[in-house]
Amino acid sequence: MLHLTAPALLLVALALFTAGPAMASPDDVVRDCADDGFVEIGRHSRSDLQQARNRIPADLDAYSDCKAQINEALDNPRAGVALNKDGFPGGDGSGGGGSGGDGSGGDGSGSGSGSGGSAGQDEPSAEEEQRAAAAVERKRQLARKDTESLLGERNVKPGTAGALAPADTANGISLPLLLAIIALVLGLAAGVVVALGRRNPELFAGTLGRLPFLRGRDFPPPVRRR
């Protein structure tokens, strides 16, 4: 009975060992890119990456660079290689040396001991730092595209103001608007003065005659209503 149980347990162990990679699919690659706009290197197999290029939805392909991300993951020499917890290839390692044996012979004796060192984690290289910076820039560009699509592709520049923006005035009114209001008030005042001069030429003749723009002008007599 035992010689039948051992092979069965071995098959179960092999099935559990291969269950993780088998569950991965090209759709997982698409979901990985749709989540944050990036394809994690070392998470997917080359076969899944190749199949995922033809399974990108049309809307995701239009508003993201998932296809370029997948191609970049395929071109990376670490594609399909598992990464450590920090996101870089490599891991922790340690080793210990053995101890020497004691011996004696004749009039002398000797003893020896040794210990091994430990290997530290791999430091990120300059190329990996550049890739991380490029990934941040791509993420910023994708966020900008999403904002432009929400605004209807209008060119909105923050900080710009129109004609009604507060300028150097103390009350917050822009200078062009203030000048327009002054011109309107002066025009209304001039119209009122001219109208009063026409209605009462005797009363306003002396005062209006002193104004530069009305000097020498004769006001018509008022119209009497019957």
pLDDT tens-digit map of 4-35: 565 555 555 555 444 444 445 888 888 888 88
pLDDT score of 175 = 83
Q: Using CA atoms, how far apart are residues 123 and 200, in angstroms rounded to an integer? A: 96
pLDDT at residue 44 greater than cutoff 50: yes
More confident residue, 184 or 22: 184
Can you tell me the mean pLDDT for 198-221?
61
- At residue 104, φ and ψ (nearest 5 deg) are -145, 145
Q: Which has the closest alpha carbon to 199: 175, 180, 176, 225?
A: 225
pLDDT score of 51 = 87
pLDDT score of 184 = 95
pLDDT score of 118 = 44
pLDDT at residue 181 greater than cutoff 90: yes
- 219 within 8 A of 205, measured Cβ to Cβ: yes
Q: Using CA atoms, how far apart are residues 129 and 120, in angstroms rounded to an integer? A: 19
pLDDT tens-digit map of 45-64: 888 888 888 888 888 888 88
pLDDT score of 98 = 43
Q: Using CA atoms, how far apart are residues 60 and 29, in angstroms rounded to an integer? A: 13
pLDDT score of 196 = 76
DSSP per residue, the chain: -HHHHHHHHHHHHHHHHTHHHHH--HHHHHHHHHHHS---TTTS-HHHHHHHTT---HHHHHHS-HHHHHHHHHHSTTTT----TTSSS---EE--PPBPPPEEETTEEE--B----EE-PPPPPHHHHHHHHHHHHHHHHHHHHHHHHHTTS----TT---TTS--S-TTS--HHHHHHHHHHHHHHHHHHHHHHHHH-HHHHHHHHHTSGGGTTPPPPPPPPP-
pLDDT score of 19 = 44
pLDDT at residue 203 greater than cutoff 50: yes
Can you tell me the mean pLDDT for 134-145?
79
Mean pLDDT of the chain, nearest integer: 66
pLDDT score of 179 = 92
Residue at 33: amino acid letter:
C
Q: Extract the tokens encoding 48.
A: 């899944």
Q: What percent of the chain has pLDDT over 70?
A: 45
Task: Parse the chain into domains and list their residue ranges.
Answer: 21-83+128-155, 175-214
pLDDT score of 67 = 85
pLDDT score of 93 = 43
pTM of the model: 0.30
Q: Using CA atoms, how far apart are residues 16 and 38, in angstroms rounded to an integer? A: 29
